[in-house]
Amino acid sequence: MSVKDIEAMLSNAKRVDSQREREFAHPRTYEQNGNGGAHPKSEADTRSLVKPIIFRTLADIVAEKRETRWLIQKVLEREVLAVLAGPRSTFKSFIGLDWMMHIALTGEPVVILSGEGAGLDRRAGAWMRTFAPTVDLASLPIVALERAVNLNVPETLNAVADACLALPRPPVAALIDTLSKFSPGMKENDNGEVSAFLAGLSDGLRDRLHCTVLAVAHTGHAEIGRPRGAYALMANPDAEYIVERPNPAAMTVTVSRERFKDTPAMPPLAYTARVVDLGRPDKYGEAVTSLVLDATDAPVPTIKRAGIGKNQERATTALREWVRTNPGNLYLSSIDLRGMLKVQGIKDSNRRGEAIDYLTNIRALNPAAGGHTVNPDALL
């Protein structure tokens, strides 16, 4: 199937009005009426869409002796919905592309949905020149869509899945770069909307295609160190990777491996970005370049405890109390964290940002999509 065929299939996805988009929270309980609107299906119709409930003996399950199925050993599992999240300028898109290129290099098909501008050609070209200089890019089973489409609309999501199934081989991995570009209109702080969107990706892409879906997401907020978005963005995916740039002046980033679907947590990965000359000038005579990522040892985080101020001390005390009253809970949402600091009298957003930044620097808080994970040991 050509790129034009894929574009045509996507363009034929039905347009829906704003009311229909709001109904996406329950995509399987509505059907079109004669006027193009939507009305609830009958209870019998809805019941027929439910998968049969089949119990299996625990002995049969244990006898399977299941093992983790990897796309990239100890990096990315098969058939999972994963989120790769981090602030801007942490090379998230380059990490996602690097993983997809490595998968394609093994001969397994990959799809890239790129809404991040026109730089995909340079990034892919730099990767090939660096890591596969003798391989013909045309021989790799990797295709891309270089425009954002609204995956929050069921018809569009189905069109993307149909286009994937029409390829010579359906993909084992699909990269969505970035989540916000492919979900316009979604309220990122609304757990209900985010949960419904992620459920759509799980059902419509991961389960239907039997592939891994890796979604790149931005973190960051007016408050330093606070990821934006609903709690569901962290809780609902099968796997999560948080990207950090310990030293903004350096080109090294770390990628957490704290939450997999079927594997215990592992130490973070680390990559160092470097510039690659693509061997051609632009129309102004300047060299055309891009970045590639080299795997490196993860930098040891710097623990900053000297010079603690009044707000940092209040924030530390409040977090200790939260840990005491929430035993076993290691996730603190952004909303709850902000409320906790306000109770301590830290009401100015800049001061809250400084307090959160301090707790992050001492590793008491680790950024996660929609909030932070808490490390009680760092509070001792």
Per-residue pLDDT tens over the stretch 39-54: 445 555 545 556 789 9
The mean pLDDT value of the chain amounts to 83
**CATH superfamily membership of 70-295:** P-loop containing nucleotide triphosphate hydrolases (3.40.50.300)
CATH class as words, domain 310-379? mainly alpha
Q: Which amino acid is at 281?
A: P
Please list the residues that pair with 174 across neighbouring strands.
111, 213
pLDDT, residue 6, reads 53
* From 44-58, 138-152, 269-283, 365-379, the region with the lowest mean pLDDT: 44-58
pLDDT, residue 3, reads 53
Residue 181, pLDDT above cutoff 90: yes
Q: Over range 260-269, report the average pLDDT.
A: 90
pTM value is: 0.71
CA–CA distance, 375 with 285 (Å, rounded to integer): 51
Same fold, 70-295 and 310-379: no
Residue 36: CB atoms within 10 Å: 11
**Domains of the chain, residue spans:** 70-295, 310-379
* Strand spans (E) along the chain: 30-32, 38-40, 70-72, 76-77, 81-86, 110-114, 142-145, 173-177, 212-218, 239-244, 252-257, 266-281, 287-295, 331-333, 365-368, 371-374
Q: Over range 45-67, report the average pLDDT.
A: 82
pLDDT in tens, 341-378: 988 888 888 888 888 888 887 878 887 777 888 888 88
